[in-house]
Structure 1
Amino acid sequence: MKNVRIIPPKPKENKKLRVAAYCRVSTSGPEQMRSLEIQISAYKKMIKSHPNWLFAGVFYDIESGLRRSGRKSLDKLLRRAEKGKIDYIITKSISRVSRDTLEVLKIVRFLRERGINMHFENEKLDSIEADKEFEITLRGMLAQDESRNISENIQWGIQRKFEKGEIYTKYKNFMGYTCVDGEIVIVPDQAEVVRKIFDLYLHGLSLGQIKAYLESQGIKTATGKDDWNVKTIRDMLKNEKYKGDTMLQKTFTEDFMTGKKRRNDGQRNKYYVKDSHPAIVSAEVFDKVQEEMAKRSRVISNEDGTVEISGSKYNGKYLLGNLLVCGDCGASYRRRTERGKVVWRCATRIEKGKEACPHSPTLDEGRVQDTLSTAVCPNGVYDEGIIRNEVDKIQVFDASILVICKNGSQEESSF
């Protein structure tokens, strides 16, 4: 007969719990920061005064509750929990952890798998209890829906302001302008820099040459940096605000959950406000620059190596040769084979040397095709027919390319 001996379970040791707290506020405004200070102080006092608890820290973030990105302290808290350094977590409410229902569930289940409880004070709920998951989910959905309503109300208010022609007047680091008492005013010394950039471009200098001039003169950017970016210069030359007008709703937030902005290519109304603020350059100068930029974008290189302005497309042997345009000097790119590798290089740089166009990069053909496959082709496979039908041009800058489609949409990719 089998001899069975019962081994009773070991009684749990009466260990002190390592307890942490998590706090979050959405903005760094005075009232919210005061609230955060009070929460941190209260949790420290609560945890340290409990006889069976060990203080494991108070973690806090100043970020939106809709998105996980930027929530460094929450990530740190969960990493410490994963390493077994925390036994119990206290937080004010479900919405403080996240206003994304799915994210709340992920965190709750992550902690429960490790035997760690998160206590939500306002709701009086403990995440360790599996039967409370439905209620936590429901409360999370309510918090998410509240955020949706807030977002919709804000968007409605913004639209009404656009319709009235009310422009944004809290710009930071806007070369040539600053904001005083809700009004956009000109900064005289910066305005001279802006006028100089427009003047240099109309006198034939490329974006790269303008960059070199500004740096050689010790002129700093709007953020106080010594190095200028050709893309920044290009954007300044295209910004209608410098002639005293404002285009409203150039971008829009597509999804309140992600908060990502999209270029408005006709999905929403745009509002053009003339004479919305003092101009730095005349409308005539601004319009001449736009004409010059359009002219330079039509520069192509022929098979014999000459460069000319053309109103037609697809003149060259290779499709990319009529799409790739140097964002520095405006010349097209030319195909070359070097060490068995196919690359594309600015025609000006090939013909006149690096000094004539020092900031134009050499592009690997395969890499350009991969970028176009992702940005343009529906199935992710490079299709020259689709590229020909969809893409108007591809501007090449020192560290990125800007794919401009015929429908007006744009997508920038870094190297």
Structure 2
Amino acid sequence: MIKKLRVAAYARVSTDKDDQANSLDNQRNYFTDYITRHEGWQLVNVFYDEGISGTQTKKRKGFMEMIAEAEAGEIDLIITKEVSRFARNTVDTLSYTRELKKIGVGVIFTLDNIDTRQSDGEFRLTIMASIAQEESRKTSERVKWGQRRQMEKGVVFGRDLLGYTVKDGNLYINEEEAEIVRAIFHKYTNEGKGTHIIARELQEEGMRPKRIALWSNVVILRVLRNEKYVGDLMQKKTITPDYLTHKKKYNRGEEGMVYIKEHHEPIISRDLWERTQEELQRRSPSEEQKSKYSNRYWCSGKLFCAECGRRYVSRLRKREDGSVSKTWRCIAAAHHGRKKQDADGKDIGCDNTSVNEESLKTCMNYCISLIQSEREGLKKEILEEINCIRKKQNQKLDVQKLEKQIAQIELKKTKAIDLMLGGVISKEDLQNQTEWYNDKLEHLNKEFLDAKCRDKLENSQTDAMEQYIMALDDIMNLQGDNELIYNEVLDRIDLHKNNVLDVWLKEIPVGIRLKIRTSGRRASYKTEILETDFIEKQ
């Protein structure tokens, strides 16, 4: 008994109920009829995705399930109507059909009359996929143009936000949430409270933000700066520059924004809005102040908790003798204490310990002296490594030679077409010759890419090592105030439990892990280095 060919079908169906031509039932019937007309075929399944763009295959669940079953050996052949239904990204189309072909699975595009199992299938597929991709680009441009015209007319694009519901392109006040918005503006502008305090008060009062679990100063600031609450509408704050990836980014002037004043019913008055913006401006630090506070402490923004990944913040404590002791603590522990769960079951707090600033300075002094004492030995090892890399570079394949060989093959392909058009060779001879040229080009292109990647990697390794040597010399030559030196050479410190610190210096490709012990209290604080290890950067 002859084994039947296991055939799967793929369809992208419209979410528009009026689009009967592309409905799932119609496409099932179409594929069932198509397959039953071929003796020796049996339908395995009809995979489909509903209302999803064809430019990104990774987001199409049905498509990826079909590919997985094909790779598992459960499908012999895939049929789909058009290239544009399979994928509108040329790279994805060719990549997936090639991978399928390697495992013996062909793809037939019924309306485009393309079968990837045939010798000219890939050539014709490339043309059709490029056309589909260009059509996708044009469609994207048309959609963008249409959306902008709609925005200019006042149609709202986007989802609900705190205080408003979006329905049929209009904003409607959600009165229950609007009270929270009014409270935020009142607390900030009329009561003079800070964003951190407002966030804490709202959390304690049992009020919940929209779509996230906890209030934060960032969420409060977004509310205070959102023009929708005064009745104005600004759109195109984010844009999608690449129609293939669909990734959004903030609009930094690449496209003009659409601003409509007094567009909808406001939640707060114009007077409160303007006073709030003035207050935000007044409290916002100037560039000079930002620089001042960002450099206020030598390790500001450079200490991280290795347990929860959060930053360490400074805390000042007054000693009995009147002097001030500075310690650094994980911000999660500073805000919420030891690790626990809140009312919503979310983990808050941190069990990591605090560290005294004097201990950090002791560790920095030790690390700098360690690097200085090991400098010559480290430089010697690095120079030897650089010499080894350069020897490899001298022995590598000649990239220019490969480029020349590729160009020669491409020229021969062109000449072969001319010979066929001139009647010197047959179409069949051309196809055979072209296949040979393509195999040769694939091999040469792989060698060329490998050589370029290796060249790039080795050059970057050499550059990194040369920068390492310069960094070692810089550490030796640093003079002046200790804290200025620490700030200059420190990249970051990761703090673990049990008094273990990973110190990373700028431009140095290894870190220094220290185990310390602290003793004494108040004014007589002492730190000992118990263990030292070099660790590699992950």
Is this a same-fold pair by TM over 0.5? yes
Kept in 1, the 8 Å contact 2:188–2:195? The answer is yes
Per-residue deviation at 1:346?
A: 3.8
Q: Specify the code of the residue in structure 2 equivalent to 1:19.
A: V
Kept in 1, the 8 Å contact 2:236–2:256? The answer is yes
Q: Which residue of 1 aligns with 2:265?
A: 278
> Aligned Cα RMSD in Å?
4.0
Give yes or no for the alignment of 1:261 onto 2:245. no
Give yes or no for the alignment of 1:86 onto 2:83. no
How do residues 226-375 of structure 1 correspond to structure 2 at under 5 angstroms? 227-228=214-215, 230-298=217-285, 312-315=289-292, 319=295, 345-347=312-314, 357-358=335-336
Q: Which residue of 1 aligns with 2:482?
A: none
SS of the counterpart of 1:76? helix
SS of the counterpart of 1:37? helix
Q: Which residue of 1 aligns with 2:18?
A: 31
Change (3 A) 1:151 1:334: closer
Deviations 1:331-355 (Å, cap 9, x if unpaired)? xx5766999xxx9534579799979
SS of the counterpart of 1:152? helix
SS of the counterpart of 2:239? strand
Q: Specify the code of the residue in structure 2 equivalent to 1:287.
A: E
Q: Which residue of 2 aligns with 1:302?
A: none
The partner residue of 1:57 within 45, 52, 55 is: 45
The partner residue of 2:198 within 199, 210, 213 is: 210
Q: Specify the code of the residue in structure 2 equivalent to 1:55.
A: L
Change (3 A) 1:107 1:182: closer
Q: Which residue of 2 aligns with 1:370?
A: none
Any gaps of 5 or more consecutive residues in structure 1? 1-12, 299-308, 325-332, 366-378, 384-415
Give yes or no for the alignment of 1:166 onto 2:153. yes
SS of the counterpart of 2:59? coil
Deviations 1:149-184 (Å, cap 9, x if unpaired)? 11222222334445xx32333543222122455432
Which whole-Å CA distance do the structure 1 matches of 2:33 and 2:296 have between them?
66
Per-residue deviation at 1:89?
A: 0.8
Change (3 A) 1:79 1:351: closer
Change (3 A) 1:241 1:347: farther
Change (3 A) 1:321 1:59: farther
Which whole-Å CA distance do the structure 2 matches of 1:348 and 1:137 have between them?
63
Per-residue deviation at 1:80?
A: 1.4
Kept in 1, the 8 Å contact 2:305–2:312? The answer is no
Which whole-Å CA distance do the structure 2 matches of 1:356 and 1:293 have between them?
26
Per-residue deviation at 1:139?
A: 1.0
Residue correspondences, number? 331
Q: Which residue of 2 aligns with 1:198?
A: 185
Change (3 A) 1:286 1:128: same
Q: Specify the code of the residue in structure 2 equivalent to 1:52.
A: G
SS of the counterpart of 1:21? strand
Q: Specify the code of the residue in structure 2 equivalent to 1:58.
A: V
SS of the counterpart of 1:73? helix
Change (3 A) 1:348 1:289: farther
SS of the counterpart of 2:125? helix
Any gaps of 5 or more consecutive residues in structure 2? 317-326, 337-347, 353-359, 361-462, 472-538
How do residues 136-155 of structure 1 correspond to structure 2 at under 5 angstroms? 136-155=125-144
The partner residue of 1:73 within 47, 59, 62 is: 62
Per-residue deviation at 1:193?
A: 1.5
Change (3 A) 1:355 1:83: closer
SS of the counterpart of 2:107? strand
Q: Specify the code of the residue in structure 2 equivalent to 1:275.
A: E
Q: Which residue of 1 aligns with 2:487?
A: none
Which whole-Å CA distance do the structure 2 matches of 1:263 and 1:135 have between them?
39
Deviations 1:267-300 (Å, cap 9, x if unpaired)? 22223221111111122322333343344442xx
In terms of Rg, which structure is larger?
Answer: 2
Give yes or no for the alignment of 1:120 onto 2:109. yes
Which whole-Å CA distance do the structure 2 matches of 1:310 and 1:119 have between them?
61
SS of the counterpart of 1:130? coil
Percentage identity across paired residues of the two chains: 32
More helix by percentage = 2
Deviations 1:376-404 (Å, cap 9, x if unpaired)? xxx999x9xxxxxxxxxxxxxxxxxxxxx
Deviations 1:224-264 (Å, cap 9, x if unpaired)? x6644554333222111111112232222212222222222
- TM-score, normalisation: structure 1: 0.67
Which whole-Å CA distance do the structure 2 matches of 1:178 and 1:265 have between them?
27
Kept in 1, the 8 Å contact 2:238–2:248? The answer is yes
Kept in 1, the 8 Å contact 2:312–2:328? The answer is no
Moved more, 47-56 or 171-180: 47-56
SS of the counterpart of 2:2? coil
Give yes or no for the alignment of 1:105 onto 2:94. yes
Q: Specify the code of the residue in structure 2 equivalent to 1:189.
A: E
